Amino acid sequence: MVLVMSEEVRAALEARQPVVALESTIIAHGLPRPRNLQVALELETAVRQEGAVPATIAVLDGRPHVGLDKEQLERVANEDGIRKLGHRDLPLAVAVGASGATTVSATALLAARAGVRVFATGGLGGVHREWTVTQDESADLGLLARTRITVVCAGVKSILDVPATLQRLETLGVSVAGYGTDRFPGFYLSDSGHPVDWTLRTPEQVAGVMRAQDTLAEPESALIVANPVPEEEQLDPELHARVLADALHACEEEGVTGQAVTPFLLDYLVRHTDGASLSANLAAVRGNVRLAARIAAAWARG
């Protein structure tokens, strides 16, 4: 695949300036219009305010782009028929000239191919509930097990099986550290109820781990920096527990399966928390983007 890098991203990488990769699925599929474009521009601005260059990633007319201009962002936000692309979909999209927004796995892969080391997102995919029956696991996990990139996230989506996901990351050899916490974040919640073994407290410490990964010549796996949403901006834990239980019951009652489960549950949470879950999601993404930019700056300083 021939990557199309924006001039700004290319110049930053050549000058060893900080660059932060951003996914585009949140723009095309995660938010309603016109708020999706507003948030996309806001996140890019947040990266710039922290002294880094944003590299929003998408596939347009079969060409993977690392870094989008405003017109391209508007296209991802507003064009009908923009597909949702995981990393397995990239060769098909390239071959048939399709356009699509990139998920965590596709964004991480394209960012790494371009030489971008830091990626900010909301929450990772993971092991789904009822895994023993469905064998449903996000492609994010396998891709991160073989891709050298640092992912700043608010944990994994709380609709998933969090302890099983943490176990799977351990099995796959993906390093996980809490940022300023010894608890694994719960996406909408500051604490998923599960611990992490390692805590990092500064961007410089994170950059030090990244350098150690390279020095040790470990297998090409990712570093997950789990950054909790601030407690004052999290979704009320009691409301979260109640609505999630109702959502899981509704999912079963309506026979929703496979790839339809995650969007069904997320939409249910938004509607039955009066938008509070979306507000917590966006608060988490904003914090992750800013932290990722600071980590990228520490990494660039060497």
Q: Any idea which residues carry the catalytic annotation? A: 23, 157
Three-state DSSP state, 289: helix
- Dig out the tokens for 233 from the structure: 């901006």
> Are the beta carbons of 224 and 261 closer than 8 angstroms?
no
Which stretches does DSSP call E strand in 33-73? Answer: 53-60, 63-66
> Are the beta carbons of 231 and 284 closer than 8 angstroms?
no
Residue 237: asked if its preceding bond is cis (omega within 30°), the reply is no
Q: Rounded distance, CA 63 to CA 93, Å?
A: 8
> Are the beta carbons of 164 and 200 closer than 8 angstroms?
no
How crowded is residue 18: how many other Cβ atoms within 10 Å of its Cβ?
A: 24
Question: Tell me, what amino acid is at 193?
Answer: G
- Dig out the tokens for 57 from the structure: 């990633």
> Are the beta carbons of 141 and 169 closer than 8 angstroms?
yes
How crowded is residue 6: how many other Cβ atoms within 10 Å of its Cβ?
A: 18
